[in-house]
Amino acid sequence: MNQGQTPYADALNAFSGRDLVRVIVPGHGAEGGGVPERLEHFIASKPFHKDFTPLLTGLDKGDGNPLDQAKELAAQAWKARRVWFLTNGASQGNRITAIALRGLGEHLLAQRSTHSSFVDGLVLSGLTPEFVLPNLDLKRGIAHGVSAAAVEERLAELTEPPVAVYIISPSYFGAVADVEGIATVVHSYGLPLIVDAAWGAHFGFSSSVPENPINLGADLVISSTHKLGGSLTQSAMLHLAEGPFADELEPLIDRAFGLTQSTSENTWLLASLDIARHFLVTGEERIAASVQSADSLRQLVRENPYLDLVEDSFAEFLDILTHDPLHVAIDVSATGVSGHELKEYVANEHGVYFEASTHNSVVALLGAGAMPDASRIMESIDQARKVLGHSSLATTDLTELGIPIPAAGQRRMSPREAFLRDHDLVPASEAAGRISADTLAAYPPGIPNLLPGEEITQETVDFLSAVAASPGGFIRGAVDRSSSHYRVVKG
């Protein structure tokens, strides 16, 4: 290697000069209406002069300082008691939440398809989870959300009372749960409701999009502001509602924040959160324009004989109340090209960047104010079909794998204890009966099949092996791609 090189910086500089259509996070999309004008001016004008260390009078030191004022404005905007600015992403918000909740007790009820960062929080905090399963679209390999009835049923079954209930809404695919109904159930048990709304930072700022979870009864909301709210990558917020649990939660969250946040917070990220709040508060027309742009893409999808909209199947699932119009999930099964292959091809060959893919779908995200070129997106998909398509696309329809999704194994120790214990690496043929040291999730559908501390069952081994061997199948957290070995607690 030549120490005279700066390979990443040079590559980033070159990459930034490409002509791209970005329906991918960060939501600002780099140009057009998705970029807050104030943020563009902030970055363009003397950028190095705005890179400061923390604890300076006139910026973030002393009572009523400008940073505190920015957080107070954010609390007003999201109708929260208090907002924490996060510079380690919504993942930090998830870890803060798990650590704070441990201060209330040991057990928690959570949606099983929780983000891996929340599982990280379980490991860090020692919190012991019980789970409620989301509804599954087996045809497309997608995990949606949970219903109020499912949450109530699980709460009634638990022998150890949880300290809170944790759900995800909206989902990666834009499915929105009945947060209000779930909050009613959870509050009837005297518990706070935590909502991972990482994909819904824009909610509540326009009549064109769903309501802010806080206004629907959520007590704590994790928001990945950079995803669809216009701030810079890695910036996020944590919102505490004013309610019966706020007095108890606030000091716990504040202390957990101190454990997880950098002592050298990036001033650019903090400023971008302040500007994103202004952008959303004043952006109802911009958001409505983005919804119109997304609807134009939807119309083109519906007119294409090779494509379908995933959201057109949402009515089949009782857990889905509505959907976010800025998520456009496209079923590409009939093109003869897998979603993973199509996503890679259109990015490399046509400069069209989708946010996510499954075996048979791709997901386009439009940030608040963004209006991407729908025709170019459709042309790139059509070219992928012509170049890569074939007559028979192998499926990862979970109903065709020959085995059902396995039930979770018995919890033998807490996630934290299992993660920190010495471990062995064993072949899959010897894994059944051992205790997992890892989190393993089959994609599709993306629900953790194993958590640290859970016993590995033969059914789980068979299922993970089948998914890993199927076209487009992937086991997140696996030791190797084929899931041939497992990391287990020693002894």
Give phi and psi for 233, each to the nearest 5.
-50, 135
Could you tell me the CATH number of the domain that includes residue 449? 3.90.100.10
Shared-domain flag, residues 185 and 43: yes
Mean pLDDT of the chain: 93
Residue matched to tokens 């209006």: 371
Report long-range pairs for 310-314 (Cβ below 8 Å, ≥24 apart). 310/137, 310/140, 310/142, 310/173, 310/361, 311/173, 311/174, 311/175, 313/137, 313/140, 314/144, 314/175
Is 274 contained in some domain?
yes
Q: How confident is the model at residue 141 (pLDDT cuts 50, 70, 90)?
A: confident
Highest mean pLDDT pick, 45-49, 135-139, 350-354: 350-354
pLDDT at residue 491 in the model: 83
Question: Per-residue pLDDT averaged across 344-359, rounded?
Answer: 92
Number of helical H runs and strand E runs in the chain: 15, 22
Percent of the chain clearing pLDDT 70 (strictly above): 96
Question: Per-residue pLDDT averaged across 275-282, rounded?
Answer: 97
For 257-295, b/e burial (b = at least 16 CB within 10 A) is beebbeeebbbbbbbbbbbbbbbbeebeebbbbbbebbe
Is 71 contained in some domain?
yes
Distance CA 463, CA 449 (A): 9
- pLDDT(258) > 90: yes
Tell me how far apart the terminal alpha carbons of the chain are, to the nearest angstrom.
43
Shared-domain flag, residues 420 and 379: no
More confidently predicted of 155 and 29: 155
Amino acid at 411: R
Q: How confident is the model at residue 260 (pLDDT cuts 50, 70, 90)?
A: very high
Q: How confident is the model at residue 403 (pLDDT cuts 50, 70, 90)?
A: low
- pLDDT(163) > 90: yes
- pLDDT(407) > 90: no
Question: Per-residue pLDDT averaged across 318-337, rounded?
Answer: 95
- pLDDT(116) > 50: yes
Nearest Cα to Cα of residue 238 among 271, 207, 213, 266: 213
Is 12 contained in some domain?
no
Q: Dump pLDDT digits (tens) for 456-479.
A: 999 999 989 988 887 667 898 999
Shared-domain flag, residues 328 and 434: no
Is 178 contained in some domain?
yes
Task: Report the sign of the C-alpha dihedral through residues 244, 247, 250, 256, in that order.
Answer: negative
Shared-domain flag, residues 362 and 326: yes
Question: Per-residue pLDDT averaged across 217-245, rounded?
Answer: 97
Q: How confident is the model at residue 33 (pLDDT cuts 50, 70, 90)?
A: confident
Shared-domain flag, residues 325 and 380: yes
Which of 350, 375, 393 lies at the terminal end of a domain, its last residue? 393
3-state helix, strand, coil in the chain (%, to 5): 40, 20, 40
Shared-domain flag, residues 462 and 337: no
User: Are 116 and 478 a contacting pair, CB within 8 Å?
Assistant: no
pLDDT at residue 392 in the model: 44
Is 183 contained in some domain?
yes
Question: Per-residue pLDDT averaged across 435-448, rounded?
Answer: 84
Shared-domain flag, residues 293 and 426: no
**What range does the domain containing 272 cover?**
20-393
pLDDT at residue 399 in the model: 57
Shared-domain flag, residues 92 and 230: yes
Which of 356, 375, 393 lies at the terminal end of a domain, its last residue? 393
Q: Which of 47-56, 261-270, 363-372, 436-445 has the lowest average pLDDT?
A: 436-445
Which of 393, 414, 432 lies at the terminal end of a domain, its last residue? 393
Domain count, the chain: 2
Distance CA 147, CA 181 (A): 8
Question: Per-residue pLDDT averaged across 78-87, rounded?
Answer: 98
Shared-domain flag, residues 166 and 111: yes
User: Are 370 and 39 a contacting pair, CB within 8 Å?
Assistant: no
Q: How confident is the model at residue 374 (pLDDT cuts 50, 70, 90)?
A: very high
Is 14 contained in some domain?
no
- pLDDT(147) > 80: yes
- pLDDT(405) > 70: yes
Distance CA 377, CA 238 (A): 34
Shared-domain flag, residues 427 and 335: no
Shared-domain flag, residues 422 and 348: no
* 3-state SS, residue 1: coil
Give phi and psi for 62, each to the nearest 5.
95, 160
Could you tell me the CATH number of the domain that includes residue 261? 3.40.640.10
Neighbours of 426 (CB within 10 A): 16
- The model's pTM is 0.92
pLDDT at residue 444 in the model: 62
Q: Which of 33-42, 103-112, 197-206, 267-276 has the lowest average pLDDT?
A: 33-42
Q: Helix crossing, 148-157 with 179-188: angle to 10°?
A: 20
pLDDT at residue 476 in the model: 87
Shared-domain flag, residues 158 and 76: yes
Question: Per-residue pLDDT averaged across 215-238, rounded?
Answer: 97
